């Protein structure tokens, strides 16, 4: 029985689809939404900006809030609650580091649209990395 589900979310529709999938398929499970900030990029913009903040935890929380607001809205539409967790750094590493605390991971599978090409080139395909290395089952939602 699946009682704890981790749903990593970014600002994509695929991530929202993954959260909806988790609610539909694990109606009795506790759902935790993870958002990772400070993601490495070719220009290091977000990571550099975050590192210059006086209070890293507070700044990371502020940057996560728009994603969490959307997640809470989806949860409210389904009369469900969620827990939220902020990660800092590489998304796949953050997900994998938390995996053992959950029964499954539900993750949006991103397409190869042009807006993600440079991100994929630098940090690799997060869904692919997590599905290959996770110690718990991973559900990829398209």
Domain interval for residue 58: 4-141
What CATH number does the domain containing 92 carry?
3.40.50.620
Token pair belonging to 7: 């749903």
The pTM assigned to this predicted structure is 0.82
Q: How many domains does the chain have?
A: 1
CA distance 97 to 87: 10
- H/E/C letters for each residue in 105-130? EEEECCCCCHHHHHHHHHHCCHHHHH
Tens-place pLDDT, residues 68-124: 999 999 999 999 999 999 998 889 999 999 999 999 999 998 744 444 444 444 444
């Amino acid at each position: 029985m699946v009682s704890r589900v981790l749903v990593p979310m970014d600002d994509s529709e695929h991530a929202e689809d993954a959260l909806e999938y988790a609610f539909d398929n694990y109606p009795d499970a506790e759902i935790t939404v993870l958002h990772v900030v400070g993601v490495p990029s070719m220009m290091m913009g977000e990571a550099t900006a975050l590192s210059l903040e006086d209070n890293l935890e507070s700044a990371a929380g502020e940057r996560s809030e728009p994603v969490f607001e959307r997640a809470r809205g989806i949860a409210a539409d389904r009369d469900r609650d969620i827990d939220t967790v902020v990660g800092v750094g590489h998304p796949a590493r953050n997900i994998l580091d938390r995996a053992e605390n959950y029964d499954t991971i539900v993750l949006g599978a991103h397409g190869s649209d042009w807006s993600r090409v440079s991100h994929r080139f630098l940090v690799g395909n997060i869904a692919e990395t997590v599905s290959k290395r996770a110690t718990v089952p991973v559900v990829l939602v398209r």
